[in-house]
Chain A
Amino acid sequence: MRGVTDQRERIINMDIKMNSASETLTLEIKGRIDTKSAPQLEEIIGSSLDGVRLLVMDFEGVEYVSSAGLRVLLIAQKAMNRQGDMKVRNVNPDIMEIFEVTGFSDILTIE
Protein backbone atom coordinates (compact mmCIF):
# COMPACT_ATOMS: atom_id res chain seq x y z
CA MET A 1 0.00 0.00 0.00
CA ARG A 2 2.91 2.19 -0.66
CA GLY A 3 2.17 5.86 -1.20
CA VAL A 4 -1.52 6.19 -0.57
CA THR A 5 -2.40 8.83 -3.15
CA ASP A 6 -3.54 12.16 -1.91
CA GLN A 7 -7.20 12.52 -2.79
CA ARG A 8 -7.15 16.28 -2.44
CA GLU A 9 -4.77 16.70 -5.36
CA ARG A 10 -7.39 15.48 -7.78
CA ILE A 11 -9.67 18.44 -7.28
CA ILE A 12 -10.15 20.37 -10.51
CA ASN A 13 -9.80 24.10 -10.02
CA MET A 14 -11.34 25.29 -13.23
CA ASP A 15 -14.74 26.66 -14.10
CA ILE A 16 -16.10 27.33 -17.58
CA LYS A 17 -19.09 29.44 -18.56
CA MET A 18 -20.33 29.03 -22.14
CA ASN A 19 -22.13 31.71 -24.11
CA SER A 20 -23.34 31.00 -27.58
CA ALA A 21 -24.67 33.77 -29.81
CA SER A 22 -25.33 33.06 -33.52
CA GLU A 23 -22.01 31.68 -34.77
CA THR A 24 -19.90 32.93 -31.89
CA LEU A 25 -19.02 30.75 -28.94
CA THR A 26 -17.54 32.46 -25.91
CA LEU A 27 -15.88 30.49 -23.15
CA GLU A 28 -15.29 32.36 -19.92
CA ILE A 29 -12.66 30.34 -18.14
CA LYS A 30 -11.76 30.72 -14.49
CA GLY A 31 -8.99 29.12 -12.48
CA ARG A 32 -6.16 26.85 -13.53
CA ILE A 33 -5.85 25.11 -16.87
CA ASP A 34 -3.52 22.30 -15.85
CA THR A 35 -3.02 18.59 -16.40
CA LYS A 36 -6.18 17.81 -14.46
CA SER A 37 -8.51 20.42 -15.95
CA ALA A 38 -7.17 20.63 -19.52
CA PRO A 39 -8.90 17.40 -20.68
CA GLN A 40 -12.22 18.86 -19.52
CA LEU A 41 -11.64 22.04 -21.53
CA GLU A 42 -10.58 19.98 -24.54
CA GLU A 43 -13.75 17.92 -24.32
CA ILE A 44 -15.98 21.00 -24.08
CA ILE A 45 -14.29 22.61 -27.06
CA GLY A 46 -14.32 19.38 -29.05
CA SER A 47 -18.04 18.93 -28.59
CA SER A 48 -19.15 22.53 -29.06
CA LEU A 49 -17.51 23.74 -32.26
CA ASP A 50 -20.15 22.62 -34.74
CA GLY A 51 -21.14 25.64 -36.82
CA VAL A 52 -19.01 28.00 -34.75
CA ARG A 53 -17.26 30.65 -36.83
CA LEU A 54 -15.71 32.58 -33.96
CA LEU A 55 -14.41 31.04 -30.78
CA VAL A 56 -13.63 33.53 -28.03
CA MET A 57 -11.74 32.40 -24.97
CA ASP A 58 -12.03 34.88 -22.15
CA PHE A 59 -8.99 34.41 -19.94
CA GLU A 60 -9.87 37.08 -17.39
CA GLY A 61 -10.23 34.54 -14.61
CA VAL A 62 -7.39 32.27 -15.68
CA GLU A 63 -4.53 32.21 -13.19
CA TYR A 64 -2.34 29.53 -14.68
CA VAL A 65 -1.87 27.62 -17.91
CA SER A 66 0.29 24.52 -18.00
CA SER A 67 1.73 22.83 -21.08
CA ALA A 68 -1.42 20.69 -21.19
CA GLY A 69 -3.43 23.93 -21.34
CA LEU A 70 -1.23 25.27 -24.13
CA ARG A 71 -1.80 22.05 -26.02
CA VAL A 72 -5.57 22.51 -25.81
CA LEU A 73 -5.14 26.06 -27.15
CA LEU A 74 -3.07 24.65 -29.99
CA ILE A 75 -5.75 22.06 -30.80
CA ALA A 76 -8.52 24.68 -30.62
CA GLN A 77 -6.57 27.08 -32.82
CA LYS A 78 -6.00 24.37 -35.43
CA ALA A 79 -9.68 23.47 -35.40
CA MET A 80 -10.74 27.08 -35.76
CA ASN A 81 -8.22 27.64 -38.57
CA ARG A 82 -10.41 25.29 -40.58
CA GLN A 83 -13.76 26.90 -39.78
CA GLY A 84 -13.21 30.50 -38.76
CA ASP A 85 -11.34 32.47 -36.15
CA MET A 86 -10.30 32.17 -32.55
CA LYS A 87 -9.53 34.97 -30.14
CA VAL A 88 -8.09 34.96 -26.67
CA ARG A 89 -9.09 37.87 -24.48
CA ASN A 90 -8.10 39.46 -21.21
CA VAL A 91 -4.86 37.55 -20.71
CA ASN A 92 -3.08 38.47 -17.48
CA PRO A 93 0.61 39.51 -17.60
CA ASP A 94 1.98 36.25 -16.18
CA ILE A 95 0.23 34.19 -18.82
CA MET A 96 1.09 36.73 -21.50
CA GLU A 97 4.73 36.18 -20.60
CA ILE A 98 4.22 32.43 -21.11
CA PHE A 99 2.55 33.06 -24.47
CA GLU A 100 5.46 35.24 -25.53
CA VAL A 101 8.28 33.00 -24.47
CA THR A 102 6.65 29.96 -26.06
CA GLY A 103 5.74 31.72 -29.30
CA PHE A 104 2.03 31.18 -28.69
CA SER A 105 1.63 34.94 -29.04
CA ASP A 106 2.50 34.46 -32.72
CA ILE A 107 -0.06 31.70 -33.24
CA LEU A 108 -2.95 33.01 -31.22
CA THR A 109 -4.92 36.16 -31.80
CA ILE A 110 -4.69 37.86 -28.44
CA GLU A 111 -6.84 40.89 -27.68
Chain B
Amino acid sequence: MIIFIQWGLLRAFHRIGMGAEIQENTMDKNERYIFESIVSDMSDGVFVIGFDGKISLCNKAAADALNTDNNALIGKSVAMLMDEFEENDEFFELLLDAVYTRSKVIKTVPFRTDGQMRYLRVTTSFLIKESEKIALMAVISDNTDPVELFIRNKRLANQVIGLMNSFVEVMVTETEERSAYNADHTKNMVRFATRYLEWLNSQGRLTEFTMENTAPFIMSIWLHDIGKLLIPPEIMDKPTRLGECMKDVSHRIEITKLMLKMKMMSCPDEKEQLQARLEEISEANDLITECNTIGFLDDKRRERLKKISELKCITAEGEEIPIFTEYELESITVVKGTLTKNERKVVESHVNFTRDLLAKMEFRGDYRNVPMWAAGHHEMLDGSGYPDGISGADIPWETRLLTIIDIYEALTAKDRPYKPPVSSEKAFAILREMSDNGKLDRDILASFCESDAWRD
Protein backbone atom coordinates (compact mmCIF):
# COMPACT_ATOMS: atom_id res chain seq x y z
CA MET B 1 0.00 0.00 0.00
CA ILE B 2 1.52 3.32 -0.95
CA ILE B 3 0.17 6.66 0.08
CA PHE B 4 1.38 9.77 -1.71
CA ILE B 5 -0.03 13.19 -1.71
CA GLN B 6 1.86 14.72 -4.54
CA TRP B 7 2.14 13.42 -8.05
CA GLY B 8 5.43 15.21 -8.24
CA LEU B 9 6.75 12.18 -6.51
CA LEU B 10 6.99 10.24 -9.72
CA ARG B 11 10.34 11.62 -10.72
CA ALA B 12 11.56 11.02 -7.26
CA PHE B 13 10.03 7.56 -7.22
CA HIS B 14 13.35 5.83 -7.63
CA ARG B 15 14.73 7.92 -4.79
CA ILE B 16 11.98 7.14 -2.35
CA GLY B 17 13.44 6.12 0.88
CA MET B 18 14.75 7.89 3.86
CA GLY B 19 13.68 11.44 3.71
CA ALA B 20 13.97 11.79 -0.05
CA GLU B 21 13.56 15.42 -1.05
CA ILE B 22 10.77 15.80 -3.54
CA GLN B 23 9.78 18.48 -5.97
CA GLU B 24 6.16 19.38 -6.37
CA ASN B 25 4.29 19.62 -9.64
CA THR B 26 7.12 18.25 -11.67
CA MET B 27 5.14 15.44 -13.20
CA ASP B 28 3.64 15.92 -16.60
CA LYS B 29 0.52 14.12 -17.80
CA ASN B 30 2.47 11.36 -19.48
CA GLU B 31 4.51 10.61 -16.44
CA ARG B 32 1.45 10.68 -14.27
CA TYR B 33 -0.27 8.19 -16.54
CA ILE B 34 2.72 5.84 -16.44
CA PHE B 35 2.94 6.14 -12.68
CA GLU B 36 -0.75 5.50 -12.19
CA SER B 37 -0.59 2.49 -14.45
CA ILE B 38 2.36 1.03 -12.61
CA VAL B 39 0.72 1.51 -9.25
CA SER B 40 -2.62 0.23 -10.38
CA ASP B 41 -1.11 -2.97 -11.84
CA MET B 42 1.10 -3.71 -8.87
CA SER B 43 0.28 -6.91 -7.05
CA ASP B 44 1.36 -5.21 -3.85
CA GLY B 45 -1.02 -2.75 -2.32
CA VAL B 46 0.10 0.85 -2.50
CA PHE B 47 -1.30 3.91 -0.83
CA VAL B 48 -0.08 7.41 -0.30
CA ILE B 49 -1.02 9.80 2.47
CA GLY B 50 -0.50 13.27 1.19
CA PHE B 51 0.82 16.41 2.76
CA ASP B 52 -2.69 17.30 3.81
CA GLY B 53 -3.04 14.10 5.85
CA LYS B 54 -5.43 12.44 3.41
CA ILE B 55 -5.09 9.41 1.21
CA SER B 56 -4.45 10.69 -2.28
CA LEU B 57 -3.64 7.47 -4.04
CA CYS B 58 -4.66 3.93 -3.45
CA ASN B 59 -4.62 0.91 -5.73
CA LYS B 60 -7.02 -2.02 -5.71
CA ALA B 61 -4.54 -4.37 -4.07
CA ALA B 62 -4.27 -1.99 -1.12
CA ALA B 63 -8.02 -1.76 -0.78
CA ASP B 64 -8.27 -5.56 -1.01
CA ALA B 65 -5.63 -5.99 1.66
CA LEU B 66 -7.65 -3.73 3.95
CA ASN B 67 -10.81 -5.54 2.90
CA THR B 68 -12.48 -2.41 1.61
CA ASP B 69 -13.15 -0.51 -1.61
CA ASN B 70 -10.43 1.76 -3.02
CA ASN B 71 -12.89 4.56 -3.55
CA ALA B 72 -13.73 4.23 0.11
CA LEU B 73 -10.14 5.04 1.00
CA ILE B 74 -9.34 8.03 -1.21
CA GLY B 75 -9.60 11.29 0.66
CA LYS B 76 -9.69 9.67 4.06
CA SER B 77 -7.27 10.49 6.84
CA VAL B 78 -5.63 8.03 9.24
CA ALA B 79 -7.89 9.44 11.92
CA MET B 80 -10.93 8.45 9.90
CA LEU B 81 -9.50 5.02 9.19
CA MET B 82 -8.75 4.55 12.89
CA ASP B 83 -12.37 5.25 13.58
CA GLU B 84 -13.40 2.75 10.94
CA PHE B 85 -10.94 -0.03 11.78
CA GLU B 86 -11.10 -0.08 15.54
CA GLU B 87 -9.00 -3.14 16.27
CA ASN B 88 -6.02 -2.38 14.11
CA ASP B 89 -3.82 -0.04 16.07
CA GLU B 90 -0.69 -2.08 15.30
CA PHE B 91 -1.18 -1.13 11.68
CA PHE B 92 -1.58 2.59 12.42
CA GLU B 93 1.28 2.46 14.90
CA LEU B 94 3.71 1.62 12.18
CA LEU B 95 2.59 4.58 10.09
CA LEU B 96 3.37 6.73 13.12
CA ASP B 97 6.72 4.99 13.57
CA ALA B 98 7.79 6.10 10.11
CA VAL B 99 7.01 9.71 11.04
CA TYR B 100 8.64 9.56 14.48
CA THR B 101 11.76 7.78 13.33
CA ARG B 102 11.89 9.52 9.96
CA SER B 103 12.94 6.29 8.44
CA LYS B 104 11.65 3.38 6.45
CA VAL B 105 9.70 0.97 8.63
CA ILE B 106 9.11 -2.64 7.61
CA LYS B 107 6.89 -4.77 9.76
CA THR B 108 4.31 -7.52 9.61
CA VAL B 109 1.20 -6.60 11.54
CA PRO B 110 -2.11 -8.32 12.19
CA PHE B 111 -5.14 -6.74 10.53
CA ARG B 112 -8.68 -7.65 11.55
CA THR B 113 -11.80 -7.08 9.51
CA ASP B 114 -15.11 -8.90 9.52
CA GLY B 115 -13.96 -11.24 12.25
CA GLN B 116 -11.02 -12.41 10.17
CA MET B 117 -7.41 -11.86 11.02
CA ARG B 118 -4.82 -11.47 8.32
CA TYR B 119 -1.17 -10.51 8.46
CA LEU B 120 0.04 -7.62 6.37
CA ARG B 121 3.63 -6.93 5.61
CA VAL B 122 3.86 -3.17 5.42
CA THR B 123 6.76 -1.05 4.23
CA THR B 124 6.28 2.57 5.12
CA SER B 125 8.44 5.40 3.80
CA PHE B 126 8.11 9.06 4.56
CA LEU B 127 8.87 11.91 2.24
CA ILE B 128 9.86 15.44 3.10
CA LYS B 129 9.27 18.31 0.78
CA GLU B 130 10.82 21.72 1.01
CA SER B 131 8.24 23.04 3.42
CA GLU B 132 9.23 20.25 5.83
CA LYS B 133 5.78 18.81 5.61
CA ILE B 134 5.67 15.13 5.05
CA ALA B 135 3.86 12.52 3.07
CA LEU B 136 3.74 8.82 3.75
CA MET B 137 3.86 6.00 1.34
CA ALA B 138 2.96 2.49 2.31
CA VAL B 139 3.39 -0.73 0.36
CA ILE B 140 1.33 -3.63 1.63
CA SER B 141 1.42 -7.30 0.86
CA ASP B 142 -0.78 -9.97 2.35
CA ASN B 143 1.51 -12.18 4.37
CA THR B 144 -1.19 -14.23 6.02
CA ASP B 145 -0.16 -17.59 4.58
CA PRO B 146 3.54 -17.43 5.49
CA VAL B 147 2.74 -15.94 8.91
CA GLU B 148 0.15 -18.60 9.64
CA LEU B 149 2.62 -21.23 8.51
CA PHE B 150 5.21 -19.70 10.80
CA ILE B 151 2.75 -19.62 13.70
CA ARG B 152 1.77 -23.23 13.05
CA ASN B 153 5.41 -24.30 12.88
CA LYS B 154 6.15 -22.41 16.05
CA ARG B 155 3.19 -24.08 17.75
CA LEU B 156 4.34 -27.52 16.60
CA ALA B 157 7.88 -26.78 17.74
CA ASN B 158 6.52 -25.67 21.11
CA GLN B 159 4.50 -28.87 21.37
CA VAL B 160 7.61 -30.93 20.72
CA ILE B 161 9.67 -28.92 23.19
CA GLY B 162 6.85 -29.10 25.73
CA LEU B 163 6.62 -32.86 25.32
CA MET B 164 10.38 -33.19 25.61
CA ASN B 165 10.50 -31.01 28.73
CA SER B 166 7.68 -32.81 30.47
CA PHE B 167 9.05 -36.21 29.47
CA VAL B 168 12.47 -35.40 30.88
CA GLU B 169 10.94 -33.89 34.00
CA VAL B 170 8.71 -36.88 34.72
CA MET B 171 11.36 -39.51 33.97
CA VAL B 172 14.04 -37.81 36.04
CA THR B 173 11.69 -37.15 38.96
CA GLU B 174 10.37 -40.71 38.99
CA THR B 175 13.85 -42.19 38.62
CA GLU B 176 15.13 -40.17 41.53
CA GLU B 177 12.16 -41.12 43.65
CA ARG B 178 13.10 -44.78 43.30
CA SER B 179 16.02 -43.99 45.53
CA ALA B 180 15.17 -43.63 49.19
CA TYR B 181 17.68 -40.85 49.42
CA ASN B 182 17.68 -37.34 48.09
CA ALA B 183 14.76 -37.94 45.81
CA ASP B 184 14.34 -34.22 45.20
CA HIS B 185 17.91 -33.30 44.33
CA THR B 186 17.32 -32.34 40.71
CA LYS B 187 13.88 -30.90 41.35
CA ASN B 188 15.34 -28.64 44.04
CA MET B 189 18.16 -27.57 41.74
CA VAL B 190 15.69 -26.66 39.02
CA ARG B 191 13.74 -24.62 41.57
CA PHE B 192 16.83 -22.75 42.74
CA ALA B 193 18.01 -22.14 39.17
CA THR B 194 14.62 -20.95 37.93
CA ARG B 195 14.32 -18.51 40.82
CA TYR B 196 17.87 -17.32 40.34
CA LEU B 197 17.36 -16.65 36.62
CA GLU B 198 14.14 -14.79 37.38
CA TRP B 199 15.98 -12.70 39.93
CA LEU B 200 18.80 -11.98 37.44
CA ASN B 201 16.18 -10.96 34.91
CA SER B 202 14.42 -8.66 37.37
CA GLN B 203 17.80 -6.97 37.82
CA GLY B 204 18.00 -6.58 34.06
CA ARG B 205 21.13 -8.72 34.07
CA LEU B 206 20.02 -11.89 32.35
CA THR B 207 21.28 -10.80 28.97
CA GLU B 208 24.77 -10.27 30.43
CA PHE B 209 24.97 -14.00 30.05
CA THR B 210 23.26 -14.01 26.65
CA MET B 211 20.56 -16.26 27.94
CA GLU B 212 17.50 -14.98 26.21
CA ASN B 213 16.14 -18.47 26.30
CA THR B 214 16.61 -20.10 29.68
CA ALA B 215 14.83 -23.36 28.83
CA PRO B 216 17.94 -25.16 27.51
CA PHE B 217 19.83 -24.37 30.69
CA ILE B 218 16.99 -25.71 32.82
CA MET B 219 16.97 -28.79 30.61
CA SER B 220 20.69 -29.29 31.33
CA ILE B 221 19.90 -29.27 35.05
CA TRP B 222 17.17 -31.86 34.65
CA LEU B 223 19.64 -34.07 32.79
CA HIS B 224 22.88 -33.46 34.70
CA ASP B 225 22.66 -36.63 36.79
CA ILE B 226 21.02 -38.83 34.15
CA GLY B 227 24.23 -40.91 34.07
CA LYS B 228 23.43 -42.09 37.61
CA LEU B 229 20.91 -44.41 35.99
CA LEU B 230 23.86 -46.61 35.10
CA ILE B 231 25.43 -46.61 38.57
CA PRO B 232 24.45 -49.63 40.74
CA PRO B 233 22.08 -48.39 43.43
CA GLU B 234 23.99 -50.18 46.22
CA ILE B 235 26.96 -47.94 45.43
CA MET B 236 25.01 -44.83 44.48
CA ASP B 237 23.03 -44.85 47.71
CA LYS B 238 25.50 -46.59 49.97
CA PRO B 239 24.29 -45.36 53.33
CA THR B 240 27.10 -46.67 55.57
CA ARG B 241 30.71 -47.67 55.19
CA LEU B 242 29.94 -51.37 55.17
CA GLY B 243 26.57 -51.03 53.46
CA GLU B 244 24.99 -54.43 52.89
CA CYS B 245 28.20 -56.11 54.18
CA MET B 246 27.44 -54.99 57.72
CA LYS B 247 25.01 -57.93 57.98
CA ASP B 248 27.77 -60.37 57.00
CA VAL B 249 30.18 -58.93 59.53
CA SER B 250 27.56 -59.01 62.31
CA HIS B 251 26.63 -62.53 61.41
CA ARG B 252 30.26 -63.60 61.42
CA ILE B 253 30.78 -62.06 64.85
CA GLU B 254 27.60 -63.58 66.31
CA ILE B 255 28.59 -67.07 65.13
CA THR B 256 32.06 -66.53 66.58
CA LYS B 257 30.56 -65.54 69.93
CA LEU B 258 28.33 -68.60 69.95
CA MET B 259 31.20 -70.87 68.99
CA LEU B 260 33.34 -69.40 71.76
CA LYS B 261 30.58 -69.89 74.30
CA MET B 262 30.09 -73.50 73.21
CA LYS B 263 33.80 -74.12 73.43
CA MET B 264 33.85 -72.64 76.92
CA MET B 265 31.34 -75.28 77.94
CA SER B 266 33.13 -78.15 76.32
CA CYS B 267 36.60 -77.03 77.39
CA PRO B 268 36.38 -75.49 80.89
CA ASP B 269 40.20 -75.46 81.07
CA GLU B 270 40.39 -72.82 78.36
CA LYS B 271 37.61 -70.73 79.85
CA GLU B 272 39.74 -67.76 80.80
CA GLN B 273 41.42 -67.50 77.46
CA LEU B 274 38.12 -67.98 75.63
CA GLN B 275 36.43 -65.37 77.82
CA ALA B 276 39.14 -62.85 76.92
CA ARG B 277 38.63 -63.59 73.24
CA LEU B 278 34.89 -63.22 73.64
CA GLU B 279 35.32 -59.80 75.19
CA GLU B 280 37.77 -58.82 72.52
CA ILE B 281 35.36 -59.72 69.75
CA SER B 282 32.46 -57.97 71.51
CA GLU B 283 34.50 -54.78 71.78
CA ALA B 284 35.41 -55.12 68.13
CA ASN B 285 31.73 -55.41 67.31
CA ASP B 286 30.96 -52.19 69.21
CA LEU B 287 33.74 -50.35 67.41
CA ILE B 288 32.64 -51.58 64.00
CA THR B 289 29.02 -50.59 64.67
CA GLU B 290 30.14 -47.12 65.77
CA CYS B 291 32.54 -46.55 62.89
CA ASN B 292 30.14 -47.90 60.28
CA THR B 293 27.98 -44.77 60.41
CA ILE B 294 30.61 -42.19 61.30
CA GLY B 295 31.16 -39.33 58.78
CA PHE B 296 34.84 -38.76 59.42
CA LEU B 297 37.22 -41.40 60.75
CA ASP B 298 40.00 -40.09 62.97
CA ASP B 299 43.45 -41.68 63.13
CA LYS B 300 42.84 -43.20 66.53
CA ARG B 301 39.78 -45.16 65.46
CA ARG B 302 41.44 -46.05 62.20
CA GLU B 303 44.39 -47.59 64.06
CA ARG B 304 42.05 -49.50 66.35
CA LEU B 305 40.13 -50.84 63.34
CA LYS B 306 43.38 -51.92 61.72
CA LYS B 307 44.28 -53.70 64.91
CA ILE B 308 40.99 -55.56 65.23
CA SER B 309 41.23 -56.54 61.59
CA GLU B 310 43.83 -59.03 62.72
CA LEU B 311 41.22 -60.79 64.86
CA LYS B 312 39.94 -64.13 63.69
CA CYS B 313 36.35 -65.25 63.59
CA ILE B 314 35.14 -68.83 63.82
CA THR B 315 32.71 -70.33 61.34
CA ALA B 316 29.99 -72.81 62.27
CA GLU B 317 32.32 -75.47 60.92
CA GLY B 318 34.96 -74.37 63.36
CA GLU B 319 37.21 -72.85 60.75
CA GLU B 320 39.18 -69.71 61.68
CA ILE B 321 38.68 -66.84 59.21
CA PRO B 322 39.63 -63.13 59.19
CA ILE B 323 37.03 -60.79 60.76
CA PHE B 324 36.96 -58.64 57.59
CA THR B 325 37.26 -59.43 53.94
CA GLU B 326 39.66 -57.17 52.07
CA TYR B 327 36.77 -55.07 50.78
CA GLU B 328 35.17 -54.75 54.22
CA LEU B 329 38.44 -53.56 55.75
CA GLU B 330 38.86 -50.98 53.01
CA SER B 331 35.25 -49.82 53.44
CA ILE B 332 35.26 -49.49 57.21
CA THR B 333 38.58 -47.58 57.20
CA VAL B 334 37.57 -44.99 54.61
CA VAL B 335 38.59 -41.58 56.05
CA LYS B 336 35.55 -39.58 54.87
CA GLY B 337 32.12 -40.60 53.63
CA THR B 338 31.09 -44.14 52.88
CA LEU B 339 32.74 -44.99 49.57
CA THR B 340 35.97 -46.82 48.86
CA LYS B 341 38.32 -45.45 46.25
CA ASN B 342 36.88 -47.75 43.60
CA GLU B 343 33.31 -47.02 44.56
CA ARG B 344 34.03 -43.29 44.41
CA LYS B 345 35.40 -43.75 40.91
CA VAL B 346 32.24 -45.60 39.91
CA VAL B 347 30.03 -42.84 41.31
CA GLU B 348 32.16 -40.17 39.65
CA SER B 349 31.81 -41.95 36.35
CA HIS B 350 28.15 -40.88 36.27
CA VAL B 351 29.24 -37.70 34.50
CA ASN B 352 30.84 -39.81 31.78
CA PHE B 353 27.58 -41.70 31.47
CA THR B 354 25.67 -38.41 31.39
CA ARG B 355 27.92 -37.28 28.56
CA ASP B 356 27.66 -40.61 26.70
CA LEU B 357 23.87 -40.81 27.06
CA LEU B 358 23.29 -37.22 26.00
CA ALA B 359 25.69 -37.64 23.08
CA LYS B 360 23.29 -40.22 21.69
CA MET B 361 20.41 -37.74 21.74
CA GLU B 362 19.87 -34.93 19.28
CA PHE B 363 20.28 -31.52 20.82
CA ARG B 364 20.15 -28.76 18.26
CA GLY B 365 19.74 -25.01 18.01
CA ASP B 366 19.30 -23.40 21.41
CA TYR B 367 19.66 -26.83 22.99
CA ARG B 368 22.99 -27.72 21.38
CA ASN B 369 25.05 -27.03 24.52
CA VAL B 370 22.85 -29.02 26.89
CA PRO B 371 25.15 -32.12 26.91
CA MET B 372 28.25 -30.01 27.51
CA TRP B 373 26.68 -27.97 30.33
CA ALA B 374 25.22 -31.06 31.96
CA ALA B 375 28.29 -33.30 31.76
CA GLY B 376 30.66 -30.64 33.08
CA HIS B 377 29.06 -30.16 36.47
CA HIS B 378 31.98 -31.72 38.38
CA GLU B 379 34.67 -29.73 36.60
CA MET B 380 36.48 -27.15 38.73
CA LEU B 381 37.90 -23.81 37.59
CA ASP B 382 41.39 -24.82 38.74
CA GLY B 383 41.30 -28.00 36.65
CA SER B 384 40.98 -30.31 39.66
CA GLY B 385 37.51 -31.58 38.69
CA TYR B 386 36.40 -34.49 36.57
CA PRO B 387 35.90 -36.13 34.09
CA ASP B 388 38.10 -34.03 31.81
CA GLY B 389 39.91 -31.79 34.28
CA ILE B 390 39.18 -28.74 32.13
CA SER B 391 39.72 -25.32 33.67
CA GLY B 392 39.04 -21.58 33.52
CA ALA B 393 37.61 -20.22 30.30
CA ASP B 394 36.90 -23.74 29.03
CA ILE B 395 34.11 -24.00 31.60
CA PRO B 396 31.12 -21.96 30.43
CA TRP B 397 28.99 -19.75 32.67
CA GLU B 398 26.10 -22.22 32.62
CA THR B 399 28.26 -25.08 33.87
CA ARG B 400 29.79 -22.91 36.59
CA LEU B 401 26.34 -22.00 37.83
CA LEU B 402 25.10 -25.60 37.61
CA THR B 403 28.12 -26.76 39.65
CA ILE B 404 27.48 -24.22 42.41
CA ILE B 405 23.78 -25.08 42.63
CA ASP B 406 24.60 -28.81 42.61
CA ILE B 407 27.03 -28.49 45.52
CA TYR B 408 24.72 -26.20 47.45
CA GLU B 409 21.80 -28.62 47.10
CA ALA B 410 23.95 -31.62 47.98
CA LEU B 411 25.28 -29.93 51.12
CA THR B 412 21.92 -28.76 52.41
CA ALA B 413 19.90 -31.83 51.38
CA LYS B 414 18.10 -33.26 54.37
CA ASP B 415 17.85 -36.83 53.21
CA ARG B 416 21.36 -37.91 52.29
CA PRO B 417 22.16 -41.21 53.99
CA TYR B 418 25.88 -40.71 54.41
CA LYS B 419 25.97 -37.30 55.99
CA PRO B 420 23.80 -34.90 57.94
CA PRO B 421 22.57 -31.69 56.21
CA VAL B 422 24.44 -28.47 56.81
CA SER B 423 22.82 -25.05 57.27
CA SER B 424 22.69 -22.57 54.39
CA GLU B 425 25.29 -20.42 56.17
CA LYS B 426 27.65 -23.35 56.50
CA ALA B 427 27.00 -24.40 52.90
CA PHE B 428 27.91 -20.94 51.63
CA ALA B 429 30.99 -20.91 53.87
CA ILE B 430 32.10 -24.17 52.25
CA LEU B 431 31.31 -22.84 48.76
CA ARG B 432 33.22 -19.63 49.49
CA GLU B 433 36.21 -21.61 50.62
CA MET B 434 36.07 -23.53 47.38
CA SER B 435 35.92 -20.29 45.39
CA ASP B 436 38.82 -18.87 47.46
CA ASN B 437 40.74 -21.96 46.46
CA GLY B 438 40.04 -21.20 42.82
CA LYS B 439 37.56 -24.01 42.25
CA LEU B 440 34.30 -22.11 41.83
CA ASP B 441 33.35 -18.84 40.16
CA ARG B 442 33.44 -16.16 42.85
CA ASP B 443 31.10 -13.72 41.08
CA ILE B 444 28.42 -16.28 40.25
CA LEU B 445 28.56 -17.59 43.81
CA ALA B 446 28.17 -14.07 45.28
CA SER B 447 25.31 -13.33 42.92
CA PHE B 448 23.54 -16.63 43.65
CA CYS B 449 23.90 -16.00 47.38
CA GLU B 450 22.58 -12.43 47.02
CA SER B 451 19.57 -13.62 45.01
CA ASP B 452 18.03 -15.60 47.90
CA ALA B 453 16.94 -18.09 45.23
CA TRP B 454 18.26 -20.87 47.46
CA ARG B 455 15.85 -20.21 50.33
CA ASP B 456 13.25 -22.88 51.04
Contact = CB atoms under 8 A, between A and B. Distances in A.
B78 to A, nearest CB: 4
B53 A105 contact: yes
A2 interface: yes
A44 interface: no
B204 interface: yes
A79 to B, nearest CB: 13
A2 B206 CA distance: 13
A100 B133 contact: yes
Interface string A95-111: 00110111111110000
Query: Per DSSP, are chain B's interface residues mostly helix, strand or loop, or mixed?
Result: helix
Interface string A71-104: 1001000000000000000000010011011111
Interface residues on A, range: 20 to 34
A2 B93 contact: no
B156 interface: no
A21 to B, nearest CB: 29
Interface residues of B, number: 34
B213 A98 contact: no
A1 B197 contact: yes
A17 interface: no
Contacts of A8: 204
A106 B133 CA distance: 15
A106 B83 CA distance: 14
A45 to B, nearest CB: 17
B100 A98 contact: yes
B89 interface: yes
A54 interface: no
Contact of A94 (B92, B93, B100): B100
B49 interface: yes
B79 A102 contact: yes
A12 to B, nearest CB: 18
Interface in B57-93: 76-80, 82-83, 89-90, 92-93
Interface in B180-203: 194, 197-198, 201-202
B213 to A, nearest CB: 6
Contacts of A66: 93, 96
A74 B215 contact: no
A15 B96 CA distance: 22
A68 interface: yes
B136 interface: yes
B134 A104 contact: no
Contacts of B89: 67-68, 71
Nearest to A38: B89
Nearest to B98: A101
B198 A4 contact: yes
30 contacts: A1-B214, A1-B215, A2-B214, A2-B215, A3-B213, A4-B197, A4-B198, A6-B201, A7-B201, A65-B96, A67-B82, A67-B89, A67-B92, A67-B93, A68-B93, A74-B79, A94-B100, A98-B100, A100-B53, A101-B136, A102-B53, A102-B77, A102-B78, A102-B96, A103-B54, A103-B79, A104-B53, A106-B53, A106-B79, A107-B77
Given A1-B194, A103-B76, 11 more contacts: A6-B204, A67-B93, A68-B89, A70-B92, A97-B134, A98-B100, A101-B95, A101-B135, A102-B79, A106-B53, A106-B79
Interface of A: 1-4, 6-8, 64-68, 70-71, 74, 94, 97-98, 100-107
